Amino acid sequence: MNWETYLDQHEGRFLSRLIELVSIPSVSTDPGHKADMQRACEWFTRWADGLGLHSEIWPTEGHPSLFIETPPVADKPVLLIYGHYDVQPAEDRELWTHQPFEPQVSDDKLYGRGASDNKGQIWLHCAALETLLASGKPLPIQVKLLIEGEEEVGSPNLPKLLTQHKEQLGADLVLVSDTSTAVKGVPTLHYSLRGIVIFEVHLQVAGRDVHSGVFGGTSPNAIHRMAQLVSRLHDENQRVVIDGFYDGVLPIDDREKELLARVPFDPEFYQGFIGCSELVGEVGFTTNERRWFRPTLDCNGIGGGFQGDGSKTIVPARAWAKFSARLVPDQTVEHVEDCCRRWFEAQTWAGKIDFRSDHGGPPYLLDPYGPLATYLEKAGQALRESFGQTPLLVRHGGAIPIVSQFQTLLGLSTVLMGFGSPDDAIHSPNEKFELANFRRGIRTSVRFLNALGSAAHQHFSIG
Ligand code: BES
Ligand code: MN
């Protein structure tokens, strides 16, 4: 049977399977969901077993990863598809109009935590494989799937697995669908990701909390001090004041400016989604430049003092704040972290500072005009045929830290082909996945695999 006919007939079933997968609450940050992580892994291996594909669950000190592969195909490239089965927490239940782990279809969208990030996007490649296998013909290329369970917590155990299983993971190219299109409805290939540095700052200004009537107005207030610290991080041009923060940032070259100019920007849609009345950012750059080409620093959370119901009249002695910096090529995690640490530790006027670094990941850049351009072209052609539109080729603001490790540890470059929509509300309440993107995504994947199989085999991997 022709694959398109097969897909038309089996799309409903592929959606039902996705609904099953999204209903597993595989929240990687929450130890209470350990069993669900295992269930999600087994869900995939059962699928692979059903098709007679080889699968392995790779345990780690944290959550397991899983590896599935199709048989080798002589003289054809090998594609390694990476995704993650873990999801962000969904504890703000009152804000969900659909329950996060009781996925529902409404208005041609699938609502549920992980529907877009990343279950829908990894599953569409599985559906494409199943479709190709159903045709009874041999697969056009060998495909390996690596699906991890710790992406949302910074992939702490995956680098070790990459090293341990380097041979098994051997491939010519990595394909990752874990991003969103630059513009709603317009297919997009990303050639760069921002990196990330995550840290916390704990501040102590006194030995104890004291009565705000007896000591207030005379005793230092840790929250006031922390607020001052945070407010001093950016200057009046919204530039980060930390010495050395911008070291290594590459300028936007002319060819990239051209690519950027092709991206339509609708401030109303953008602002409407955020729900804000004005946009902010570094003076001298457009919104898309700010989010794709410039490093940024955000305070992600702040606390201290009394957080309970009712009131407690104190002057707090301690406060904390959580931060994340977004990095662009060629900034390094170590340098940015170091600069941030030095800046905070120098603010002795505020009190006793305890800088605690968390995980991080370097930025990723694939030269869109370099030796991998042929793969981008094939991916672009597959998107064009499936979406009926020419894809955009742009950078991306999010981070998928493992992508740069594919380069350094496996010597493999990654093509980023995201099927999320910018308004999918990933990491937010009411996450959803556009089913139009799901259907087109499966078709794109089939076409891309076929295109890779139709070419004479050339080695493009570097490193
Ligand atoms: N799928 C996202 C990456 C992404 C970000 C896609 C923004 C589309 C828009 C990925 O799962 C993610 O959230 N990554 C984290 C990495 C961090 C936890 C190390 C991120 O970017 O915050
Ligand atoms: Mn993701």
Compute, in angstroms, the gap from residue 68 CA to the centroid of ligand 1.
23
Predicted local distance difference test score (pLDDT) of residue 91:
87
Task: Please report the atom of ligand 1 found closest to the CA of residue 118.
Answer: 1
Residues of the chain predicted below pLDDT 70: 455-463
Task: Please report the atom of ligand 1 found closest to the CA of residue 151.
Answer: 11
Set out the domains of the chain in order of their start, with CATH numbers. 3-193+364-452 (3.40.630.10), 195-249+295-361 (3.30.70.360)
Q: Which residues contact 95 (CB under 8 A, 6 or more apart)?
A: 429, 430
Compute, in angstroms, the gap from residue 301 CA to the centroid of ligand 1.
17
CB of 25 closer than 6 A to ligand 1?
Answer: no
**Atom 19 (ligand 1) nearest CA:** 154
CB of 150 closer than 6 A to ligand 1?
Answer: no
Compute, in angstroms, the gap from residue 306 CA to the centroid of ligand 2.
34
Compute, in angstroms, the gap from residue 313 CA to the centroid of ligand 1.
40
**Atom 13 (ligand 1) nearest CA:** 152
Predicted local distance difference test score (pLDDT) of residue 281:
98
Task: Please report the atom of ligand 1 found closest to the CA of residue 361.
Answer: 19
- What DSSP assignment string belongs to 169-194? T--SEEEE--SB-SBTTB-EEEEEE-
Predicted local distance difference test score (pLDDT) of residue 456:
60
Whose CA is closest to 369, among 218, 229, 191, 247?
Answer: 191
Compute, in angstroms, the gap from residue 151 CA to the centroid of ligand 2.
7
Does 330 sit behind a cis peptide bond, omega within 30 degrees of 0 on the bond before it?
yes
Whose CA is closest to 350, among 201, 140, 145, 184?
Answer: 201
Other residues' Cβ atoms within 10 Å of the Cβ of residue 17: 17
